[in-house]
């Protein structure tokens, strides 16, 4: 049986500090490197982690759910976030660079994804399948791992299969309950995780997710050096821990829990994420002295992950996400001709 989501937070390693909409977090920019002052910064009233009942299924024609059959999550139901949380409204590219990119601090920007109205239209389930269902994609239990098999299918077959399975009550994947380590109750399903080549028909429309504060921070010369990835999957799917250059992750529909590890504590994994969580690896790594932060991302939110931060992600609801890897000024310096 799918476990209760987001109610399984076993660690409390940072206290929440209220930050008003659009206000700057405390001057962590003075301290270089991860962590200093970065954890637990919250927008007022958000991220308290309190769970309430009353969750309801979204219907196919629900505009904000896009027909993906996820549960409605109110603001009060949002799970906690251990990294800085800021409002998109107060975020200029200068501030983004100064407070997050240069000091290499992750940040969750509430409603920070750009082009959301258009992306919700493009990626609403029925329309997406109707217009782009014939596109071939690779799906696998474990994206980002060369040793596991991916299979090729079409968007239509993949989406129809998992949504039908969910509607029939046969969840293709399940969200593990990390409070009951090794209970073996979670199962993993296939995840669509596709890096789109520049000539791919979805490359340009999905690139719309990148907000001005990010693209201005990158600068024009490096703007096209972006990898754009599409990630779609049912609850329980996601990516195991891995690391790469900085990434901007937008969630169009759904709900995700991220696990973030600063570069010195980053790990790499090849297990389905549901198993990794169920076996208690976040807590095991913490017990071994590694820092593992958690952050719930809701639809519309953008998560910035700095260069070489380890990260893993678990889909708590059927999720449709776009990720772009970017060249920060530091990487531009390293790779300049
Ligand atoms: O599954 C996702 O949403 C993103 C996966 C990821 O970790 C990445 O794109 O780097």
Sorted by where each begins, the domain ranges of the chain are: 17-335
Task: Check if 229 has its Cβ closer than 6 Å to any atom of ligand 1.
Answer: yes
Task: Decide if 319 contacts 233 (C-beta within 8 A).
Answer: yes
Q: What is the pLDDT of residue 226?
A: 66
13 CA to centre of ligand 1 in angstroms: 24
Handedness of CA 96, 101, 104, 106 (dihedral sign): positive
Q: What is the pLDDT of residue 329?
A: 82
Q: Residues 84-98, buried b or exposed e (16+ Cβ, 10 A)? A: bbbbbeebebebbbe
- The tens place of each residue's pLDDT in the chain, 337 residues long, gives 333 333 333 332 332 333 333 333 333 322 222 333 333 333 332 333 322 333 344 434 345 689 998 886 788 889 999 999 999 987 999 999 999 999 999 999 999 999 999 999 999 999 999 999 999 999 999 987 777 789 999 999 999 998 888 888 877 888 887 554 444 445 578 999 999 988 899 999 999 999 999 988 887 666 665 679 999 999 999 999 999 999 999 999 999 999 999 999 999 999 999 999 999 999 999 999 999 999 999 999 999 999 999 999 999 999 999 999 988 888 777 777 6
- Angle at the Cα of 20 (from 17 to 23), degrees rounded to 5? 100
Rounded distance, CA 337 to CA 327, Å?
14
Strands (E), 3-150: 17-19, 41-43, 84-87, 107-110, 136-140
Question: What residue's CA is closest to ligand 1, atom 8?
Answer: 323
Task: Decide if 40 contacts 17 (C-beta within 8 A).
Answer: yes
245 CA to centre of ligand 1 in angstroms: 12
Rounded distance, CA 298 to CA 294, Å?
13
The two structure tokens encoding residue 226: 């972006």
Burial of 44 (0-12, 13-18, 19+ CB in 10 A): exposed
Task: Check if 231 has its Cβ closer than 6 Å to any atom of ligand 1.
Answer: yes
Phi, psi (rounded to 5 degrees) for 162: -75, -35
The two structure tokens encoding residue 112: 């920070």
Q: Which residues make Cβ contacts (< 8 Å) with residue 269, sequence separation at least 6?
A: 145, 240, 241, 242, 276, 281, 312
268 CA to centre of ligand 1 in angstroms: 14
Burial of 263 (0-12, 13-18, 19+ CB in 10 A): middle
258 CA to centre of ligand 1 in angstroms: 9
106 CA to centre of ligand 1 in angstroms: 14
The two structure tokens encoding residue 205: 């429309």
3-class DSSP state for residue 270? coil
Q: Which fold has domain 17-335?
A: Jelly Rolls (2.60.120)
Look at residues 168, 315, 328 and name the one whose alpha carbon lies nearest to residue 247.
328
Task: Check if 237 has its Cβ closer than 6 Å to any atom of ligand 1.
Answer: no
Look at residues 188, 254, 253, 197 and name the one whose alpha carbon lies nearest to residue 229.
197
Residue at token pair 């976040």: 282
Rounded distance, CA 289 to CA 239, Å?
23
H helix runs in 175-288, sequence order: 203-207, 212-218, 273-278, 281-287
Look at residues 104, 92, 102, 119 and name the one whose alpha carbon lies nearest to residue 216.
92
Question: What residue's CA is closest to ligand 1, atom 6?
Answer: 239
Q: What is the pLDDT of residue 84?
A: 97
pTM: 0.81
Task: Check if 239 has its Cβ closer than 6 Å to any atom of ligand 1.
Answer: yes
Task: Check if 254 has its Cβ closer than 6 Å to any atom of ligand 1.
Answer: no
């Amino acid at each position: 049986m799918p476990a209760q989501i987001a109610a399984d937070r076993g660690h409390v390693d940072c206290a929440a500090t209220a930050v008003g909409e659009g206000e700057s977090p405390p001057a962590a920019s003075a301290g270089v490197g991860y962590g200093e002052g970065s954890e637990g910064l919250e927008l007022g009233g958000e991220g308290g982690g309190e769970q309430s009942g009353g969750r309801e299924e979204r219907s196919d024609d629900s505009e904000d759910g896009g027909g993906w059959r996820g549960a409605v999550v109110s603001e009060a139901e949002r799970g906690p976030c251990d990294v800085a949380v800021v409002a998109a409204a107060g975020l200029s590219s200068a501030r983004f660079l100064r407070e997050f990119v240069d000091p290499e601090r992750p940040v969750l920007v509430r409603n920070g994804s750009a082009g959301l109205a258009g992306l919700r239209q493009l990626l609403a389930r029925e329309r997406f399948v109707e217009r782009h269902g014939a596109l071939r994609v690779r799906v696998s239990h474990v994206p980002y791992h060369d040793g596991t098999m991916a299979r090729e299918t079409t968007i239509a077959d993949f989406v129809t299969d998992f949504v039908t399975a969910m509607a029939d009550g046969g969840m293709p994947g399940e969200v593990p309950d990390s409070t009951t380590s090794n209970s073996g109750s979670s199962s993993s399903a296939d995840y669509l995780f596709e890096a789109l080549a520049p000539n791919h028909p979805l490359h340009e429309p999905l690139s719309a997710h990148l907000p001005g504060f990010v693209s201005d921070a990158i600068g024009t010369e490096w703007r096209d050096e972006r990898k754009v990835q599409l990630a779609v999957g049912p609850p329980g799917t996601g990516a195991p821990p891995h690391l790469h250059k900085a990434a901007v992750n937008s969630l169009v529909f759904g709900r995700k829990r991220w696990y973030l590890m600063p570069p010195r504590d980053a790990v790499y994994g090849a297990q389905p994420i549901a198993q990794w969580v169920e076996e208690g690896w976040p807590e095991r790594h913490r017990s071994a002295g590694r820092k593992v932060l958690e952050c719930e991302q809701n639809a519309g939110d953008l998560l910035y992950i700095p260069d070489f931060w380890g990260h893993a992600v678990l889909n708590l609801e059927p999720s449709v996400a776009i990720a772009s890897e970017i060249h920060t000024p530091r990487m531009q310096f390293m790779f300049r001709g």
